[in-house]
Structures are given as C-alpha cells and as structure tokens.
Amino acid sequence: MRPVDRIPDDPEARREWLERWVAERGAPVRPPARSLHNRLAMSWAELVRRSERYADHVLDRRLETGGHVWDEAVHGQPGRVGYGPTAWHVLPRALRYVGAAEKDVLVDFGCGKGRVLHQAAKWPLRRVIGVEVSPELADFARGLLVAHRGEYRCKDIEVVVSDAALYEVPDDLTIAYLYDPFRGEILDTVLRNIVASIDRRPRRVWLIHVHPRAGARVLETGRFRLRTMLRGGLRDVQRYRTAIFESC
C-alpha cells in the first residue's frame, strides 16, 4: 500500500478517510454491525411484546375489552386520553399491595370497557364503581358486568356516565384507580375532589396510578405520599410502572 493510501491510526481520522474513500468510489457505506448484546436485547424485547399480546388475547377472548378506542367528540377534548386497556397483571398486584378487603370501595376513573371493574368485582370489596365520560364505553362496561355477574364476589357494582371532573367522589372511597385517563386540569380537579372527600370524612385513601406521567401533580397536592412503584411486568420501563400513593 502506498503511503498516501495508509489507513490512519486515529479513529476520527480513520472515519474521515473511509468516508472520503467511499465518496471517491461511489460505494454505499455499510452501517456498523449491532453488537451481540444489542441484537439479543432487541430480540428479547420483541419476544416480550409478542408474549404480552398473546396473553392479552387469551385472557380477553371472552370479554372483548382489548383494543384502543378514540372518539374525537369525547377524547379530542384537552386533557383527555383515548381508551386503552390495563394489562391483566396490574390490578391484582396493586390490590394485594394495599391489602384490599371487604371494607374497601374502589372507583375506577375512566373505566372504559370495564376490564378493571370486572377484575375488581372478583375481590370481596364492598363497592366497585366505574366513572366513564363516553356513554358508548359505559354501556359496553355495563353489559360486560351483567354477563359475568355470577363470577363476582362484590355484588354492589355501578357504572356512572360522567365527566370525571364533575363526578362527586363518595365519602367512603378508599381506593382510586387511574389508568392515565386524563391529564392537566381534569386530573387536578379529580385530585382536589378526592382530597375534599377525605376532608369531609377523614380516612386513608390509596391512589393507584398506572403510567404515572403526571405523578408529580399527585405529590404537589401535599396530601399524598408515594409508597411504591410496582414494576411493569417484564419491561421495567418508567412508563409501564404503577405508582401507589397513600393519603397523608
């Protein structure tokens, strides 16, 4: 090799030399090969995604609570989020953590098609309430609960059609469940309503917040403390976690 064609030892100079060599010959630059670690990580992530989709399909095949729903008239409003189902493993783990029992009243703010209500009603809770702004989704949830009422240990189950910000929080609420159903001012108003209920009738209230992008807003009320962050299954990523807050 002639001295002028010698490949430089310095990495940056070597890269510039290679780009110049490719440009002169019109050959495409091959992207650097992924490391074995990165290839394995990508394969594992894809395996997890496929496993989760399969598990959801199997568990949901009689219920049809899967899929996503976006109604522009309902979800297109500021602060609102389209319907998406909670993963099946989330609620049982959270209820075990808070020690849910016969005395508890659970309210699912933004209950959608009713998957969480269906799961919660299998626990011996005193009451289970779903709050949903979309009449169509609320009707679906009611139909689901009627069809499976023989499976439930909790017999007092209700679905309320209401804007969550206008919903009057019952003074026996002990577990509030939010699957990131709304943000901004709507979330702030719901939190204020929960705090007002606690002030009217002092008690401990658990707040289960999935995908807690706005977890800081909960803490900013000064009335809740973070007790734990449950890992989001196999994908331990912040947006797949469940934050559990306790009133203080």
Range of the domain at 124: 72-247
Q: What is the pLDDT of residue 110?
A: 95
Shared domain for 142 and 226, answered yes or no, is yes
Residue 9 resides in a domain: no
Residue 101 resides in a domain: yes
Shared domain for 38 and 118, answered yes or no, is no
Residue 6 resides in a domain: no
Mean pLDDT, rounded, for 45-60: 68
Shared domain for 105 and 79, answered yes or no, is yes
Shared domain for 173 and 98, answered yes or no, is yes
- E strands along the chain, which residues? 105-109, 127-132, 157-161, 175-178, 206-210, 224-230, 242-247
Residue 67 resides in a domain: no
Please write the tens of the pLDDT for every residue from 192-228.
999 999 999 999 999 999 876 767 889 999 999 999 9
CB-neighbour burial class of residue 36 (10 A; exposed 0-12, middle 13-18, buried 19+): exposed
Residue 13 resides in a domain: no
Shared domain for 38 and 137, answered yes or no, is no
Answer with the one of 40, 61, 82 that is the final residue of a domain. Answer: 61
CB-neighbour burial class of residue 236 (10 A; exposed 0-12, middle 13-18, buried 19+): exposed
What percent of the chain clears pLDDT 70, i.e. is strictly above it?
75
Shared domain for 54 and 76, answered yes or no, is no
Shared domain for 109 and 187, answered yes or no, is yes
Mean pLDDT, rounded, for 89-109: 96
Residue 126 resides in a domain: yes
Q: What is the SS3 assignment for 52?
A: helix
| Complete DSSP assignment for 147-190 | HTGGG-S---EEEEES-GGG----TT--EEEESS-B-HHHHHHH
Q: Of the candidates 246, 225, 115, 229, which has an alpha carbon nearest to the alpha carbon of residue 181? A: 115
Q: Given a cut of 80, is residue 40 above it in pLDDT?
A: no
Domains held by the chain: number: 2
